[in-house]
Structure 1
Amino acid sequence: MPETNNKEWNKYEETIEQFIQVIAKNMSLYGVTPSIGRLYGVLYFSQEPMTLDDMRSALEMSKTSMSTGVRALSDMKMVEPSFKKGIRKDLYKSEEDWYKSFTSLFGSRWRHHTETNIEEADEAIQELREIQENTEDEALKGKITEDIDRLEYAQNYYRWLMKFIHVIESGEIFKYVPKIDQSGKK
């Protein structure tokens, strides 16, 4: 009987490990390294909050890597500190509300890149206008006018994207696409 039980536990651990790999792979969509994705997966499936030493032994990575990973996950609001009476070491647990994690992660990543793109478009328009004002070449002036139109179109898109990001970050998105609870109901 114990051998069957052991096989069942091994199968269980393999199944969880496979899903942790899926989490790690999917988190790369958000610019998160696979090792940090695996760290999140381990924390997510942990019954109890974990110390850096617990994480290190579970993932066979250095304590420094664990610390860096926890800090990155904390910045993304995917891991939070935890407290347990009698334990003096720092404890961490995963944020289990994936909707909250997604909105935070998506918002911060996309906001940063979108703001950068808006600034770059502004700078390009300014430089092109300066060239246009100082050139005698009519063909170049015409090309610059076309390209400024393209850049202004891009800016309008980025402004729309900023509104979309706000809808995500504010949670307003859930009015249009409701969360699904544990039972599968909206």
Structure 2
Amino acid sequence: MNEQQNENITNKIILEFGKTIEMFDLTPLEARLFAFLYLNEKALTLDEMSEALGKSKTSMSTSVRSLVDFNLVTRVWKKGVRKDLYQANFQLFKSFMPTYINKWIDATNHQLGSLEEIKGKLKQDNYEDNKELTIIKKRLNKIIDFHLEVEKSFRDMKKD
């Protein structure tokens, strides 16, 4: 009974943690695999991962390769073991955040540039008599301020 209870709890954690990990642009399988590896104390082979998650060895190989590329999983060597072993990197925040903070900063800067371009066009053209457009211009300024605040927040996170 204890083993079944442990397995149920582990599966719930993998499911819920996997949902969080998916938010970092990982596929559901990659997210579940990372969560599974993170919960395991020892490095595992593709066969062990395949059996545990009920997926093919090929899909495990593809997913592990992706996780290695994201620096979330490391291939490890163990004396006497001929198969490749993989283990999750355990510093979660350091593994995930730098990449995604940079993505947010880049996306915010891109959007900010586009919004500033629209603002410049509105200044260039004479729309002063258009009351509706005056309201839109005020809202555009608030949208630009929002983007500046988002960018500042992510830059501050990057410093920490």
TM-score range, shorter chain: 0.7 to 0.9
Return the alpha-carbon distance in structure 1 between the equivalents of residues 147 and 4 of structure 2: 54
1:161 to partner: Cα distance:
1.8
Please say if 1:56 is aligned against 2:62: no
Inter-CA distance 158–44: structure 2 relative to 1 (3 Å threshold): closer
Inter-CA distance 37–137: structure 2 relative to 1 (3 Å threshold): closer
Percent of aligned positions that are identical: 25
1:81 to partner: Cα distance:
1.2
Please say if 1:127 is aligned against 2:121: no
Contact preservation (8 Å) 1:51, 1:91? yes
User: Residue 178 of structure 1 aligns with which residue?
Assistant: none
Match of 1:30, SS state, is coil
Runs of 4+ in 1 over 3 A off after TM superposition: 28-34, 140-145
Inter-CA distance 40–131: structure 2 relative to 1 (3 Å threshold): same
Inter-CA distance 37–28: structure 2 relative to 1 (3 Å threshold): same
1:83 to partner: Cα distance:
0.5
User: Residue 156 of structure 2 aligns with which residue?
Assistant: 164
Return the alpha-carbon distance in structure 1 between the equivalents of residues 75 and 24 of structure 2: 22
Contact preservation (8 Å) 2:47, 2:57? yes
Please say if 1:35 is aligned against 2:29: yes
Please say if 1:136 is aligned against 2:130: no
The aligned amino acid for 1:137 is: Y
User: Residue 46 of structure 1 aligns with which residue?
Assistant: 40
User: Residue 145 of structure 2 aligns with which residue?
Assistant: 153
- Uncovered stretches (5+) of structure 1, i.e. residues with no partner: 1-6, 173-186
1:153 to partner: Cα distance:
0.9
Aligned residue pairs total 158
Contact preservation (8 Å) 1:132, 1:141? no
User: Residue 11 of structure 1 aligns with which residue?
Assistant: 5
1:25-84 deviation digits (Å, cap 9, x = unpaired)? 332343434322321232223343112222112111123321232233234432111111
Return the alpha-carbon distance in structure 1 between the equivalents of residues 6 and 133 of structure 2: 67
- Uncovered stretches (5+) of structure 2, i.e. residues with no partner: none
Return the alpha-carbon distance in structure 1 between the equivalents of residues 147 and 14 of structure 2: 39
Contact preservation (8 Å) 1:121, 1:155? yes
1:112 to partner: Cα distance:
0.3
Contact preservation (8 Å) 1:23, 1:41? yes
The alignment's TM-score, normalised by the length of structure 2, stands at: 0.78
The aligned amino acid for 1:152 is: I
